[in-house]
Structure 1
Amino acid sequence: MIATQPTKKELSLGFLGVGWIGRNRMEAILNHTNAKAAAITEPNPENSDAALKSAKNAILKTSPEALFSEEELDGIVIATPSAMHAEQSMQALKSGKAVFCQKPLGRTAEEVKQVVQASREADKLLAVDLSYRYTKAFKAVYDTIQKGEIGDVFAVDLKFHNAYGPDKKWFYDIKRSGGGCVMDLGIHLVDLALWSLDFPNISEVSSKLYHKGQRLTSFEEHVEDFASVSMTSDKEQVINLECSWHVSAGKDAIIEATFYGTKGGASFKNINGSFYDFKAEKYHGTQTETLVTPPDEWSGRAGVVWVENMIKNNGFDEKTATELIRTAEVIDRIYGR
């Protein structure tokens, strides 16, 4: 793909945060594109040392500001705690760099809008690591829906139960995280549903949020570790969502997105509790057709697609930006903001 455009210079990227996820995304980009890791900023020496094994020619920058001011960089990959995403994304965009950021892009819809505006003003490509879109299994479900093979979708069931929950304290502080399991896991489910349904207007949102089995009425001390949400689109499509941390799921994880249409159904689901292995199925009455099974090395694919898109057009992407805002607005409504 890149080789077909020999006149294009090699893309030069900076990586802000190279913990487990940041390093995984960096290695996927380096392994599957011609982009190079030119600079890294990471406060933890163990993380930066590990990253430099994959990016031997990268230079270490001591601060995000030093990274953003590096003129040769075409783009920045951001994998830092959630509270930093919006501000760091805006700074990177204002310095003339394209941005690929871990979710959530912002803790609120207002933060997301500010980043989108920075992308628009800089005319630089902005993307968020909504990684499940890029699995072969979900893409098969999406294509099935888009081709009309299951008719008009009228109901969606979404689940993401993580029996472990995050191991870092900041996830449990709403000021730093923006929310609990809905912000961490539910954001993927909301994105998958809205994307598959062509981002309909959501007319109704009803949510019940819990912490350790008790209804959560304030976020001053805790964030939700269980959520049950019902949404209705202006097309009268009902979308039911459940997500949780630390629930007794009987396995590591339950991850499912099932769509019911007037001519059939389609489902994306994990296999044997895995966080990585997914299958896609299509339903007609009592019949099940398997569309996709593992293996699929998908975890860094969203970043690879971002690089590919940068090569084609590194400018502001109105469609993606609008989708990011629409999803953030639904998340805000789930939280009653």
Structure 2
Amino acid sequence: MTGLRLGFLGTGWIGRHRMAAIVDNGLADVIAISDPSDEMQLEALAIAPAAAVVADLDRMLALDLDGIVIATPSALHAAQTIQALDAGVAVFCQKPLGRSAEEVDAVLAAARRADRLLHVDLSYRHTAAMQAIADRIRSGGLGRPQLVELVFHNAYGPDKAWFYDPALSGGGCVMDLGVHLIDLALWTLGWPAVEEVRAHLFAGGAPLGDRTDVVEDLATASLTLEGGTVVTLACSWRLHAGEEAAIAARFYGTDGGAGMSNVAGSFFDFEGHWHRGTAREVLSVPPDAWGGRAAVAWAERLASDPRYDPAADRYRDTARALDRIYGR
């Protein structure tokens, strides 16, 4: 036994990948798994053969767990996280933590009330590229930040129907992809206040407008931050971009610039660069096994200190920015 007792609620690809990262690092024992798909359960048992298969969260919470990893559809995240926290169990949840800032506020209140650790799988923070870029920016190398350009185009779009139901997903490509990039920008810059937001959302080639029966598949937004920095976002599903994915976060300031971008259309391979004038310094190149680092960081923190981490309060900032993009 490693000490930590964990349950995994939802064992699709992401849930299993996070499970493997934690198990491979010897950080915890997987006590229980739960998924509506027999196939997904069997694949999870290949990683954690000693785990019990349970029907639902209620049965999982009866097993004296230290923490739960939640990788279920978005509509379930807030309620399931609150239920686990109210039972005194720490949570690592897939993004988004909630479909709105109101849901996120309710989750944070539960975490503070329970005094239990809560992390969200905002995994791009943990790429080698963004770690190096953030260190340079926070040490003042950028000078005064002026512009941040965020791009995330996915050539395919989600393959599950609930993503396209606003009541279940909370939104389309902004909620699915943009959440990572808005979080990256605010996290890197030290959480400046968002003073103004302008956005344009489209579905099927037409402005989304007041429609509530579909979600956006293309979005652009401009956020003006405290101090005058402007953040631009462009994200989409099924855009004709000539490659499987186009992902980038670029930062420009009075004294320098930096950028993280994917390599050759990859969803997983990223390069990090630092710029001064026309000169470019390479900060990081693939390979970089970053996908499970957020889960490992949560498990390491849980093993040493299961109490609430006040840094989780910042999940509200990203949620409120997304609400404003959606006009909520």
The TM-score, its normalising length taken from structure 1, stands at: 0.96
Kindly indicate whether the alpha-carbon contact (under 8 Å) linking 1:163 and 1:253 is maintained by their aligned counterparts in 2. yes
Q: CA deviation at 1:68?
A: 1.7
Structure 1: gaps spanning 5 or more residues: 1-7
The residue type equivalent to 1:26 in the other structure is M
1:124 aligned residue: 116
Rounded to whole Å, the distance in 1 between the matches of 2:2 and 2:188 is 35
Q: Does 1:229 align with 2:221?
A: yes
Rounded to whole Å, the distance in 1 between the matches of 2:27 and 2:71 is 21
SS at 1:324 equivalent: helix
The residue type equivalent to 1:14 in the other structure is G
Q: CA deviation at 1:69?
A: 2.2
1:48 aligned residue: 41
Partner residue of 2:321 out of 304, 309, 330: 330
Rounded to whole Å, the distance in 2 between the matches of 1:119 and 1:226 is 34
Kindly indicate whether the alpha-carbon contact (under 8 Å) linking 1:206 and 1:334 is maintained by their aligned counterparts in 2. yes
C-alpha RMSD of matched pairs (Å)? 1.0
Kindly indicate whether the alpha-carbon contact (under 8 Å) linking 2:21 and 2:296 is maintained by their aligned counterparts in 1. yes
Q: Does 1:39 align with 2:1?
A: no
SS at 1:84 equivalent: helix
Q: CA deviation at 1:34?
A: 2.4
Partner residue of 1:277 out of 262, 269, 272: 269
Q: CA deviation at 1:220?
A: 2.0
Rounded to whole Å, the distance in 2 between the matches of 1:33 and 1:90 is 27
Structure 2: gaps spanning 5 or more residues: none
Deviations 1:103-160 (A, max 9, x none): 0000000000101011001110000000000111111111110111121211100000
Identical amino acids, percent of aligned pairs? 51
The residue type equivalent to 1:22 in the other structure is G
Partner residue of 1:255 out of 222, 236, 247: 247
Kindly indicate whether the alpha-carbon contact (under 8 Å) linking 1:174 and 1:219 is maintained by their aligned counterparts in 2. no
1:84-103 equivalences in 2 (<5 Å): 84-103=76-95
Rounded to whole Å, the distance in 1 between the matches of 2:299 and 2:27 is 9
Kindly indicate whether the alpha-carbon contact (under 8 Å) linking 1:69 and 1:95 is maintained by their aligned counterparts in 2. no
Deviations 1:311-335 (A, max 9, x none): 221101112x221001000000000
2:257 aligned residue: 265
Name the count of aligned residue pairs. 328
Kindly indicate whether the alpha-carbon contact (under 8 Å) linking 1:33 and 1:307 is maintained by their aligned counterparts in 2. no
1:62 aligned residue: 55
SS at 1:232 equivalent: strand
Rounded to whole Å, the distance in 2 between the matches of 1:263 and 1:63 is 53
SS at 1:143 equivalent: helix
Kindly indicate whether the alpha-carbon contact (under 8 Å) linking 1:15 and 1:41 is maintained by their aligned counterparts in 2. yes
SS at 1:250 equivalent: coil
Rounded to whole Å, the distance in 2 between the matches of 1:51 and 1:288 is 43
The TM-score, its normalising length taken from structure 2, stands at: 0.98
The residue type equivalent to 1:162 in the other structure is N
Q: CA deviation at 1:226?
A: 0.4
Q: CA deviation at 1:9?
A: 6.3
2:163 aligned residue: 171
The residue type equivalent to 2:266 in the other structure is S
Q: CA deviation at 1:42?
A: 1.0
Q: CA deviation at 1:48?
A: 0.3
